[in-house]
């Protein structure tokens, strides 16, 4: 059993407007901690340190810890619990406003639903890191791991998978949190991938165009990029992609190839 200092002696009421749901199940907490696979050599960024349940463990097993917490009421609690650790940096601000050039071996956190989309979509632009372990709403986790042609498959799937390998580690029933949320959660691992052949911003531009109307075929939506419809039809045929297909049916690999081909055309090579 891992050595975790219980933090439930503190009675800070979760704030609904911050999307706070405290994990109260010790077995699940230990399972999350095990999934971090810390060796003592890692720089760790924790998103939403809360009352320090996971922070205490990371402080004992990590090299340096940046514990970011927005709730001002939790800062004194964190400072009290972590005062013996010189390797912990407590940062009282919104994670979306936290900027640093530090390289993180691991990013960990329980992400509120209201920032999950923007945070996941911009992770690789915000920080330099190797691996991410996040607790997310089940719906968001399914979107990250969705297959082409399914309802959950979309822009977020492709934006995240562009430079991450996604793995769903385990589910967390809603009853493991206080207060009990309306949905279950899932712990997701994102392994950073570097050096795709096509620039990320252009790839995202193509993906957003393809999903601008899920019911329309590719030639009819890719014209929003300033392309002639017939040109798109011929390009898709060259790529062995049926022009009657919709964007939601294309795999990540097909989108990467499509974006690369579009970028190589004279229309975009001058931009």
The proportion of the chain whose per-residue pLDDT surpasses 90, expressed as a percent, equals: 76
CB atoms closer than 10 angstroms to residue 94: 12
Q: Where residue 209 sits, what CATH number does that domain have?
A: 1.10.8.100
For residue 87, pLDDT over 80 is answered with yes
Domain that holds residue 246: 200-269
Q: Are residues 156 and 26 in the same domain?
A: yes
Query: Residue 79 pLDDT > 70, yes or no?
Result: yes
Task: Assess whether pLDDT exceeds 80 at residue 45.
Answer: yes
Let me know: does 180 contact 174? Beta carbons within 8 Å.
yes
Rounded CA separation 96/184 (Å): 24
The one-character DSSP state at 155 is H
Distance CA 216, CA 250 (A): 13
Q: How many domains does the chain have?
A: 2
Q: Quick one: tokens of 74?
A: 């939790």
| Percent of the chain with pLDDT strictly greater than 70 | 90
Summarize the chain as % helix, strand, coil (round to 5): 45, 20, 35
* H or E element, residue 53: helix 53-61
Query: What's the whole-number average pLDDT of the chain?
Result: 89
pLDDT digit string, tens, across residues 180-211: 888 999 999 999 998 788 999 999 999 999 99
Contact 93, 75 (CB under 8 A): no
| Residues across the chain | 271
- pLDDT higher than 90, residue 23: no
Residue among 78, 81, 28, 18 nearest 50 (CA)? 78
122 and 161 part of one domain: yes
Q: What is the pTM of this model?
A: 0.89
Q: When comparing pLDDT for 2 and 168, which is higher? A: 168
Closest-CA residue to 258 (of 216, 207, 194, 213)? 207
pLDDT at position 151: 94
Mean of pLDDT values over 1-23 = 54
* Structural domain includes residue 59: yes
Tell which residue, 219, 122, 215, 92, has the closest CA to residue 107: 122
* Torsion, Cα of 183, 140, 144, 240 (10° steps): 110
Residue 30 shares a structural domain with residue 103: yes
* Co-location of 147 and 226 in the same domain: no
Q: Which of 149, 175, 192 is the last residue of a domain?
A: 192
Which of 228, 161, 232, 238 shows the shortest CA–CA distance to 192? 161
pLDDT of residue 14: 62
**Cα of 61 vs its chain's centroid, Å:** 23
In tens, the pLDDT along 156-165 reads: 999 999 999 9
CB-CB contact of 45 with 104 (8 Å): yes
Q: What is the 3-state secondary structure (H, E, C) of 209-262?
A: HHCCCCCCEHHHHHHHHCCCHHHHHHHHHHCCCCCCCEHHHCCHHHHHHHHHHH
Residues 29 and 108 in one domain: yes
- Residue 107's DSSP bridge partners are 45, 132
Q: Among 162, 192, 222, which residue terminates a domain?
A: 192
**11: exposed, middle or buried (Cβ count in 10 Å: 0-12, 13-18, 19+):** exposed
The more confident residue out of 21 and 254 is 254
pLDDT of residue 270: 53
């Amino acid at each position: 059993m891992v050595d975790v200092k219980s933090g439930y002696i503190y009675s800070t009421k979760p704030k609904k407007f911050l999307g706070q749901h405290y994990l109260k199940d010790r077995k699940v907490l230990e399972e999350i901690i095990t999934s971090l696979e810390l060796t003592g050599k890692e720089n760790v960024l924790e998103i939403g340190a809360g009352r320090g349940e996971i922070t205490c463990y990371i402080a004992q097993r990590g090299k340096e810890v940046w514990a970011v917490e927005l709730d001002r009421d939790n800062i004194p609690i964190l400072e009290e619990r972590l005062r013996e650790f010189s390797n912990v940096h407590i940062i009282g601000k919104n994670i979306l406003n936290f900027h640093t050039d530090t390289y993180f071996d691991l990013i960990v956190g329980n992400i509120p639903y209201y920032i999950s989309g923007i945070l996941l979509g911009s992770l690789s632009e915000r920080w330099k890191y190797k691996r991410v372990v996040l607790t997310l709403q089940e719906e968001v986790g399914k979107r990250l791991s969705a297959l082409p042609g399914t309802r959950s498959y979309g822009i977020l799937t492709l934006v995240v998978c562009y430079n991450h390998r996604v793995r769903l580690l385990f589910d967390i029933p809603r009853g493991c949190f206080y207060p009990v949320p309306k949905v279950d959660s899932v712990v997701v691992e994102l392994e950073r991938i570097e050096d795709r052949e096509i620039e990320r911003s252009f790839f995202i531009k193509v993906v957003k165009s393809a999903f601008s109307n899920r019911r329309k075929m590719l030639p009819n939506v890719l014209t929003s990029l300033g392309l002639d419809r017939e040109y798109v039809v011929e390009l898709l045929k060259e790529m062995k992609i049926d022009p009657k297909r919709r964007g939601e049916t294309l795999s990540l690999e097909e989108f990467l190839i499509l974006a690369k081909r579009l970028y190589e055309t004279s229309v975009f090579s001058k931009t």
